[in-house]
Amino acid sequence: MLSRRLFLTGSALLGKSLERPNVLFIAADDMNNALGCYGHPLAKTPNLDRLAARGVRFDRAYCQYPVCGPSRCSLLTGLRPDTTKIFDNNIAVRDTLPDVVTLPQLFKNNGWRSVRAGKMYHMDVPGSVGTNKWDDPPSWDVAISPPGAEQRTPGKARNITEGKRARWDTVAFDGDGADQADEQTTRIAIDTMNQHRDRPWFMAAGYLRPHVPHVAPARFFDMFPARDIPLPVNPVNDLDDIPLASELAINTRAKDMGGMSEADKRDAIRAYLASVSYMDWHVGRVLDALEKSGQAERTIVVFWGDHGWHLGEHRRWHKRSLFEESMRAPLLIAAPGRRGNGRAAKGLVEFVDIYPTLAELAGLAGPANLEGQSLRPLLDNPGRAFKKAAFSVVTSPPGITGRAVVTDRYRYIRWTGPHPDEELYDRVKDPREFTNLARDSKHAPALNQMRSVLDSGWRAARAG
């Protein structure tokens, strides 16, 4: 277990960059904020909770595109989707940015050993698990995509959405999962830390869970009796004021889930939480090995989910929406010696901020075109204000584009294309975003203000 001493002592480090620190860069797939450290009432994630207690937990971290491929390319390049031109999956980053210097590549170019195990750039799950289809070779010295049994794992299996186009497979199996890709990712991460003590490393561990299929040891399913799982409560008329473009943008997986019974929905949530706990167990093993290796004092640990995931909120069961549940995702940064360790940052931050943060903490000069801001000020003073707004975008055939901007008070969404429309939510009075105020003339001043924030763009929203 990572000791509190490693993260709260070392005053000589305060206000300085660690000298050539290791970076343990952990990603989870389709990970919403269902973690104990974020206050989820059912989640059992003791390892990520202890990481959050020893680092800074970012409570309002937003991805720039609520789909895997575009979000990951944006995060790993420090560039927004409008710059990367990657608006969907199955696109390699150098298809649109042949000369980009990615985050792991920056460390590799400066002498770090850069290793990837598992999913970091886009990878179809489960279809391309075990392949390097959309990976970026210049980012790594070593890149391994472990194969995994996925839904073919022997065990108690079920497709919750049987008969629908979208599958929601679950498998509860005996043992720890030696045939799972995430097991191999954990082993590679531990081996990398143990075998390369004489050279700094950037270890990117990309876990597939909790992405469907929800495959996990039966003991994790047993933690969540279906009868104890509450279902999200949505007003009967919740979708009456949702623009048509918003309904068309969310892909067919979410719509196909609408026919599930209440028992099916509880089983789906249960399987998701079990997968999260399984992923947390893997993370715990890596964190324990880090401390045992004697390198924790000079290792920055980052944990992030690529985007959120709906579990019935607004009657949705997927990603690709611009609501809070899809656009917001977890971000934990534990850098030894920072003054803010053990606290939560409430300010607005974006995933494009991760690249400049790690570059600064390591004393590296990132590319001049990065479109985020270093989060280092929040690592020392989590209570300070940061950005004025966070931005995200989503696209969908036929020609639909949605752009969202979030401030301390409001969420504003503008839809363009064949069905132009707007949404406005008061995040203070209506935190679950049930009432679209854009069509209410009483809220015209707030609507005009948020239109201006979106039109002014991310540069105008930067922290002072």
Helices (H), 110-204: 181-195
Count how many Cα atoms sit within 13 Å of the Cα of residue 425 in the half-sphere of its side chain: 20
Residue 197 to residues 193, 204, 270, 296: CA-CA distances in angstroms? 7, 16, 40, 11
At residue 19, φ and ψ (nearest 5 deg) are -80, 110
Cα radius of gyration (the chain): 21
Count how many Cα atoms sit within 13 Å of the Cα of residue 304 in the half-sphere of its side chain: 29
- Both structure tokens of 330: 């977890």
At residue 115, φ and ψ (nearest 5 deg) are -130, 135
Q: Which of 37, 68, 282, 310 is catalytic?
A: 68
Residue 284 to residues 217, 277, 290, 295: CA-CA distances in angstroms? 16, 10, 10, 16
Among 213, 219, 191, CA closest to 203: 191
- Both structure tokens of 352: 């494009």
Question: Are 425 and 436 a contacting pair, CB within 8 Å?
Answer: yes
Largest separation between any pair of C-alpha atoms in the chain: 65
Classified as helix, coil or strand, 94 is: helix
d(C-alpha 138, C-alpha 135), whole Å = 9
What is the strand order of the sheet 390-396 is part of? 390-396, 400-406, 410-416, 421-426
Q: Which of 37, 63, 73, 122 is catalytic?
A: 122
What region, left, alpha or beta, does residue 170 occupy, with left being phi > 0 and alpha being psi -120 to 50 degrees? beta
Residue 122 annotated as catalytic: yes
Per-residue DSSP letters for 24-56?
EEEEETT--S-SGGGT-SS---HHHHHHHHHSE
List beta partners, residue 404: 392, 413
Question: Are 108 and 141 a contacting pair, CB within 8 Å?
Answer: yes
Residue positions annotated with a catalytic role: 68, 122
